[in-house]
A and B are shown apart, each in its own frame.
Chain A
Amino acid sequence: MAKNFSEMTWKEFDLAFMVTNPGCSAEYRTGDWRSQRPVADKSKCIKCGVCYLSCPDDAIRLAADGTYDFDYEHCKGCGICATECWTGCISMVEEEK
């Protein structure tokens, strides 16, 4: 996308503000309002990928070593990954700022 949405005037959008270019959420920090963040104790991780599959926001990424990292730009802090993790290695930690 050439311009960020928040810089565009009303004349510059597609009809009905449809998104004709998929994947635009990658350009937005949508995790700003999170009150808790997931933190993993990777020593307990069995690399099962359940957290990755259960995240409703696609905010978990496969790391090079087979464990998983969180995308804090998009993670909403819902805690589903922490609940679903088999080994309990994800804990939800209060956001400080």
Chain B
Amino acid sequence: MAKKIGIEVSLAISEAVKLADVDAIAAYPITPQTHIVEHLSELVADGELNAEFIPVESEHSAMSVCAGTSAAGARTYTATSSQGLALMNEILFIIPALRLPVVMTLANRSMSGPISIWNDHSDLMSVRDTGWISIFAENGQEAFDLTLQSFKIAEDHRVMLPINVNIDGFTLSHVIEPHEFLSQEEVDSFLPPYDPPLQLNPDKPVSMGMVGIPEIYFEAKKAQDVALVESKAVIKEIFQEFGEKFGRTYNVIESYRTEDAETLLLTMGSISETAMEAIDMMKDEQGKKVGLLRLRLWRPFPTDELRELVKGIKTLAVIDRAVSFGGTGAPVGGEIRSALYSTEDRPYVASFIAGLGGRDVTIKDFMDMVTLAEKMETEQEVHEYKMIGVRE
């Protein structure tokens, strides 16, 4: 086993991008993503990474450049956060429609306003329906591993879709953690060079981004949706292959101590680490029948796996870090209710919103949510969503 190196998570991600030997990087710095692209620009300037680093005047341009470089057959990477992601919005729709395998780190940060540089998932949720594969990392090692796997998944000819790898801003991006790096040889044995099925090449011209007249547009969207849904099988296959090669296996939903559980918490991102501690305390000290599910894959949504994992569960408390204002549930909570609605013996789903704008979600908060969710289940309380940890 390789020795562990203590390094800031942002820099570990940059090192993964370097090991993936990207050809093009176009990015605009924005807190808390800055360290990632800053380090990549240094690696390029120092000649350690042979890639074009294209500094741009805005995120709209960054993503537009990514469309161009990826279309030309270059392995392409970018990173952003919050308002920067919002500025990319127009092009975010075009990248998956053109089936371009761009990989982007999203250092999740709250959307303004009020202006906030701190962490929640409102940025990703605002681009939920753009058609990207969305993956969540919970710690630095996962961020490193998932960045590498993302290139392989995105560029697989059965997939050909962009991926955003989500890391919680500051909570992950700015902390120093131990990482087990892979060597260049190991990465090369796992990740082959990008071999685009179709590309902009004067020897064999193609037209990309054609007008979709009404006779065609609907078919185009159907094909895109099927590609995203079917990518799940490839994602699982590549997670498996990575695990067999390097000993760290990833799942589309991770289970933690779910044996004998009657109540499950469901989280995404770095709060899962605190949730695990809460589960340990509730199980070991209070004898409670609880467990945790961590959603790794947000899009395509792992519906079948979720249905399987909640069989026999009485209460499922879903913790969101974003609001769907005036909606029928928080983004993840609503999604899960709808995934389970047509299943028999489904658990009661409590939809909670916590930790907006960098507010800590504590061990006590998780314990309170379990207690509250169980009470709501007993009373079969009808609700849309509840905010936890807000001053009433």
CB contact between A22 and one of B97, B197, B207, B212 (< 8 Å): that residue? B207
What is the interface of chain A mostly: helix, strand, loop, or mixed? loop
Q: B382 within 8 Å of A by Cβ? A: no
Q: Which residue of A lies closest to B96 (CB)?
A: A16
Q: How far, in whole Å, are A55 and B197 apart by their CA atoms in the complex?
A: 35
CB contact between A20 and one of B98, B160, B198, B222 (< 8 Å): that residue? B198
CB contact between A5 and one of B160, B215, B226 (< 8 Å): that residue? B215
Q: Do the beta carbons of A16 and B208 come within 8 Å of each other? A: yes
Q: How far, in whole Å, are A16 and B206 apart by their CA atoms in the complex?
A: 11
A6-14, A43-51, A64-72, A82-90: which one contacts chain B?
A6-14
What 0/1 pattern do residues 216 to 235 of B give for CB contact below 8 A with A? 10011011001000000000
- A5-B215, A6-B215, A10-B226 as given contacts; A18 in contact with B207, CB under 8 Å: yes
For the A-B complex, the count of residue pairs with Cβ-Cβ distances under 8 Å equals: 50
Minimal beta-carbon separation of A18 from chain B (angstroms): 5
Q: A15 within 8 Å of B by Cβ? A: yes
Q: B174 within 8 Å of A by Cβ? A: no
What 0/1 pattern do residues 40 to 78 of A give for CB contact below 8 A with B? 000000000000000000000000000000000000000
Q: How far, in whole Å, are A16 and B71 apart by their CA atoms in the complex?
A: 11
Q: How far, in whole Å, are A6 and B218 apart by their CA atoms in the complex?
A: 11
Minimal beta-carbon separation of B233 from chain A (angstroms): 18
- A5-B216, A10-B219, A20-B206 as given contacts; A15 in contact with B226, CB under 8 Å: no
Q: Do the beta carbons of B219 and A9 come within 8 Å of each other? A: yes
Q: Which A14-45 residues have C-beta < 8 A from chain B?
A: 14-20, 22, 28
Q: Which of A5, A8, A13, A16 has the most CB of B within 10 A?
A: A16
Cβ–Cβ < 8 Å partners of B215 in chain A: 5-6
Cβ–Cβ < 8 Å partners of B208 in chain A: 16, 18
Number of A residues near B (Cβ < 8 Å) is 16
Q: Do the beta carbons of A10 and B205 come within 8 Å of each other? A: no
Q: B210 within 8 Å of A by Cβ? A: yes
Q: Do the beta carbons of B98 and A16 come within 8 Å of each other? A: yes
Q: B99 within 8 Å of A by Cβ? A: yes
Q: Do the beta carbons of A19 and B212 come within 8 Å of each other? A: no
Minimal beta-carbon separation of A27 from chain B (angstroms): 12
Q: Do the beta carbons of B220 and A13 come within 8 Å of each other? A: yes
Q: Do the beta carbons of B197 and A15 come within 8 Å of each other? A: yes
Minimal beta-carbon separation of B129 from chain A (angstroms): 18
Cβ–Cβ < 8 Å partners of A8 in chain B: 219
Q: Do the beta carbons of B212 and A17 come within 8 Å of each other? A: yes
Interface of B with A (CB < 8 Å)? 97-100, 160, 197-198, 204-208, 210, 212-213, 215-216, 219-220, 222-223, 226
Interface of A with B (CB < 8 Å)? 5-6, 8-11, 13-20, 22, 28
Q: A9-B219, A10-B220, A15-B99 are in contact. List 6 more A-B contacts (CB 8 A).
A: A10-B222, A13-B220, A16-B97, A16-B99, A18-B198, A19-B210
